[in-house]
Amino acid sequence: MPRRKPTIHDVAARAGVSKSLVSLALRGSEKVSVDSRLAIEAAAAELGYRPNAAARSLADRRSRAIGVLVLDFNNPIFAQILDGVQQVAGAQGYNTLIVTGSADPIRQESELARLLEFQVEGIILIAHRLTANTIMRISDERPIAIITRRDVTGPNIDTVSNDDRSGAIMAVEYLVSLGHSRIAHITGGDNQIARDRELGYLDAMTSAGLPQHINVIPGDFTDSRGYRAAQELLTAAPDTTAAFVANDLSALGAMAAIEELGRQVPEDFSVIGYDGMALATLRTLNLTTVQQPLIEMGRLAVTNLLKRIDNPNTQPVEMRVDSQLHIAGTCGPPKT
């Protein structure tokens, strides 16, 4: 097949009309006569013509693509969010360029640059690690929708997030209501989401009159770190009866350690996570958690983004979605 790809000119020649008419016809304009339309469609089909998106994007200065930067694929919650993103973007005829840029902010920035060169019309950030500065600079060029974080705002930036602090409070209050008082917290590290959840923990412990039982073990949102943190916890404070873990992935790791150390969940120890990861709520794991509407968050973010693309000068939207306590099988009353 040494022949090059057919272009609109080839179709025009074959159908015996001008390239302009082909362009018009293939985009479904009604000012094309029926005869011409049929001839053109036939010619296009016979040649196996495919419009060249690069040329189109150049000519009408629209790429019909949005870029998505996602922290990584290891945490399945990002896949859930992406699912929502793709649903809406696809339905609106937008392509989705997904890049996953390591946790390294420098590399994330160069991934972003690639997206921008592709002329994406907007950008979605899922759990990014970029500085406020970078984001502000980029948002000058393109609208941005940020999912899960809300610490950076600007005229061209929409956000969709849940209220991590009150979610955390909900989690701790639930443990308290079951009768726990020695409740520890395994954190998600040094980032805004983790900090908010930690603050919620501190708040809730204090207002429950349990400040003396506050116990914070540093983590980093990964399962392996959750595992190690739980080991530390049970070694250093064996009388702890429950833990609020910063996210589901870590909570799964923590549960593994807890059971390995001979404690049954939830009989001997209660664990509550955060996120609503699909697999964790699967009956096998049956993790009690604070569930975010992940797919919905993805959908909302694209919806806002596309609106802003169509109409750049609207007020920035900061959406707060409601998370809810998903009560399953990993929490129970403390052993007395």
Partner DNA sequence: GACACTAATTGGAACGTTCCAAGAAGGGAA
Partner DNA sequence: TTCCCTTCTTGGAACGTTCCAATTAGTGTC
Contact residues for its own copies, defined by CB under 8 A: 1, 5, 48, 50-55, 57-58, 63, 65, 72-74, 76, 79-80, 82-83, 86, 90, 95-100, 111, 113-114, 116-119, 140-141, 223, 227, 252-253, 255-257, 259-260, 278-279, 282-286
What pairs with residue 122 in β-bridges?
Answer: 66
Pick 3 or 283: Cβ nearer DNA: 3
- According to the binding rule CB under 7 A, does residue 31 interact with DNA? yes
**In this chain, which stretch among 33-41, 180-188, 228-236, 327-335 interacts with DNA, using CB under 7 A?**
33-41
Question: Is the Cβ–Cβ distance between 253 and 223 less than 8 Å?
Answer: yes
Nearer to its own copies, 38 or 55 (CB): 55
Q: Which long-range contacts (CB under 8 A, 24 or more apart) does 112-117 make?
A: 112/67, 112/69, 112/138, 115/67, 115/69, 116/67, 116/141, 116/142
User: Binding of DNA at residue 60 (CB under 7 A)?
Assistant: yes
Instruction: Decide: is 49 part of the binding site for DNA (CB under 7 A).
Output: yes
For 137-166, the DSSP string reads: HHHTTS-EEEES--S--BTTEEEEEE-HHH
CA distance 303 to 229: 39
* Residues 217 and 187: beta-carbon distance below 8 Å: yes
Residue list 8-27, contact with DNA (CB under 7 A) = 8-9, 17-21, 23-24, 26-27
Q: Are 242 and 234 in contact (CB under 8 A)?
A: no
Residue 5 binds to DNA (criterion: CB under 7 A):
yes
Question: CB-wise, 13 or 295, nearer to DNA?
Answer: 13
Distance CA 319, CA 160 (A): 5
Shortest Å distance, C-beta 56 to its own copies? 8
Binding site for DNA (CB under 7 A): 4-5, 7-9, 17-21, 23-24, 26-27, 30-33, 35-36, 49-52, 55-56, 58-61
